[in-house]
Amino acid sequence: MSGYEQEIETLLAEYRTQRDEADKNRRRINATTGTATSKRREVKVTVSARGEVTEIDFPSGAFRRMTPKELGELLRTTITEARVQALRQVDELPFMSTLFGMKPSDMLTGNVDLAEVLPEEPRAGEAVAAYLDKGRPRSS
């Protein structure tokens, strides 16, 4: 194998490693949740980093004394607090790297289309750019 072919193989291996790391990051985000409990313990809510309410619990009977409007507002506020907590936890995850400089919370939906951002094989121009970005001189 020539030096050029070896360099291409090395770049492809690095690319695949980065793609695998991005997929691990996506799975970490999808596993992250935040939980918030209202001040008087009327409601406790767990929300995924993607914003999905995964659990609503009423730890006491205090919610029974609330009007529907009050309970609705309390639910909305507590869901928002849980969501903020989940996003904060996403930013604290131990990521080795992020996609194109995005913060982990930039990927908060967990719906990053890896095929779009990092296709299975890089486009020709990206492979050349990656090679050149490694500080190698450009040849004419």
Instruction: Provide the pLDDT for residue 89.
Output: 92
Q: What is the mean pLDDT of the chain?
A: 82
Instruction: Indicate the residue type of 88.
Output: R
Instruction: Provide the pLDDT for residue 137.
Output: 47
Instruction: Provide the pLDDT for residue 140.
Output: 43
Residue 37 phi, psi dihedral angles, 5° rounding: -120, 135
Instruction: Provide the pLDDT for residue 123.
Output: 65
pLDDT tens sequence across 107-121: 675 656 666 666 777
Q: How many Cα neighbours within 13 Å face the side chain of 87?
A: 15
Give the chain's residues under pLDDT 50: 137-140
Instruction: Provide the pLDDT for residue 112.
Output: 64
Distance, in Å, from the CA atom of 79 to the CA atom of 65, rounded to the nearest integer, reads: 20
Instruction: Provide the pLDDT for residue 28.
Output: 86
Q: Report the predicted TM-score, pTM, of the whole model to 2 decimal places.
A: 0.63
